[in-house]
């Protein structure tokens, strides 16, 4: 959390420095209103910076003397931002407007939540595991959790790791699936039927039937009406000759 607070502080300081350079008249506005007021443009740009966790020079050209060339179109990130703004406007005007009674309005922060590239935690971890192995995946999880926990950028609840386990089992990465679920129980202490089932299924996929039976029994302690767990305890016990 200290790292996150320091990062936000740096964004604020850098943003203040850049906004101090704002001209009174603007050129090369292609998506935002050409007659937008200076204060409104400053607030809009601050919103972008916080939504993506970046500074002004992420999209704008910062020159050698540290001054900003806001009008320049040199950076691809600025071109991408324009496309994203058009996309958001289309979603709000064409689609959200047809959904009555929600009061919902899509903004940059709706998806980004302080991340330049917003992706679900399970997708980020799966990519790392596929590329560098399970140990690297666990290391990345701990790094991200230490940096972002409680800030909303990633979902660190049991859900992300349950979904990752399902994906690993579908890829026959059974040992990795057990590792992820053990990590899930250590980090999140889940008590849902879903979590116990995923742990049991991961153990079962590795031929660890005793462990799977224990998992299902633990599920029944939390959820006595779990008929699936009951049937699995009976079935697996028969396989073990008990």
Is the model's pLDDT at 184 over the cut of 90? yes
Which residues lie below 8 Å from residue 167, measured CB to CB, with a gap of 6+?
122, 126
- Residues 97-106: b if buried by 16+ CB within 10 A, e if exposed: eeeeeeeeee
139 touches 151 (CB < 8 A): no
Q: How confident is the model at residue 159 (pLDDT cuts 50, 70, 90)?
A: very high
Residues of the chain with pLDDT > 90, as a percent, come to: 77
Q: What is the arithmetic mean of pLDDT over 136-150?
A: 97
Higher pLDDT, 191 or 21: 191
State the pLDDT at residue 104.
83
Is the model's pLDDT at 14 over the cut of 70? no
In Å, what is the CA distance from 200 to each residue of 31, 123, 176? 52, 23, 14
Q: How confident is the model at residue 242 (pLDDT cuts 50, 70, 90)?
A: low
Q: What is the DSSP letter of 63?
A: P
120 touches 155 (CB < 8 A): yes
CA distance 124 to 44: 29
Is the model's pLDDT at 72 over the cut of 70? yes
State the pLDDT at residue 202.
98
Give the CATH architecture of domain 121-239: Alpha Horseshoe (1.25)
In the chain, where the domains are located: 2-112, 121-239
State the pLDDT at residue 175.
98
Query: pLDDT tens, 30-61?
Result: 999 999 999 999 999 999 999 999 999 999 99
Is the model's pLDDT at 126 over the cut of 90? yes
CA distance 36 to 70: 15
CA distance 62 to 55: 11
3-state class percentages of the chain: helix first, strand second, coil last, to nearest 5: 65, 0, 35
Q: Indicate the average pLDDT of the chain.
A: 90
Is the model's pLDDT at 3 over the cut of 80? no
Task: Give Cα 170 distance to the centre of its chain.
Answer: 22
State the pLDDT at residue 99.
83
């Amino acid at each position: 959390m200290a790292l996150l607070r320091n990062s936000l502080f740096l964004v604020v300081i850098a943003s203040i420095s850049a906004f101090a350079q704002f001209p009174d008249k603007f050129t090369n506005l292609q998506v935002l209103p050409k007659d937008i007021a200076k204060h409104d443009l400053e607030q809009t740009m601050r919103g972008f910076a916080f939504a993506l966790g970046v500074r002004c020079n992420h999209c704008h050209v910062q020159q050698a003397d540290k001054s900003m060339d806001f009008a320049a179109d040199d950076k691809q990130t600025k071109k991408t931002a324009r496309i994203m703004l058009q996309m958001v406007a289309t979603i709000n005007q064409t689609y959200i407007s047809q959904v009555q009674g929600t009061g919902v309005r899509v903004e940059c922060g709706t998806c980004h939540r302080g991340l330049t590239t917003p992706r679900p935690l399970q997708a980020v971890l799966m990519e790392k595991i596929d590329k560098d192995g399970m140990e690297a995946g666990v290391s990345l999880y701990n790094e991200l959790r230490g940096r972002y926990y409680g800030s909303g950028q990633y979902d660190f609840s049991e859900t992300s790791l349950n979904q990752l386990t399902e994906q690993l089992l579908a890829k026959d990465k059974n040992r990795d699936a057990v590792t992820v679920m053990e990590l899930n129980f250590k980090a999140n202490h889940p008590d849902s039927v879903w979590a116990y089932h995923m742990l049991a299924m991961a153990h079962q996929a590795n031929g660890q039937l005793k462990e799977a039976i224990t998992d299902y029994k633990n599920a029944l302690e939390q959820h006595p009406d779990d008929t699936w767990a009951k049937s699995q305890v009976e079935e697996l016990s028969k396989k073990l000759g008990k």
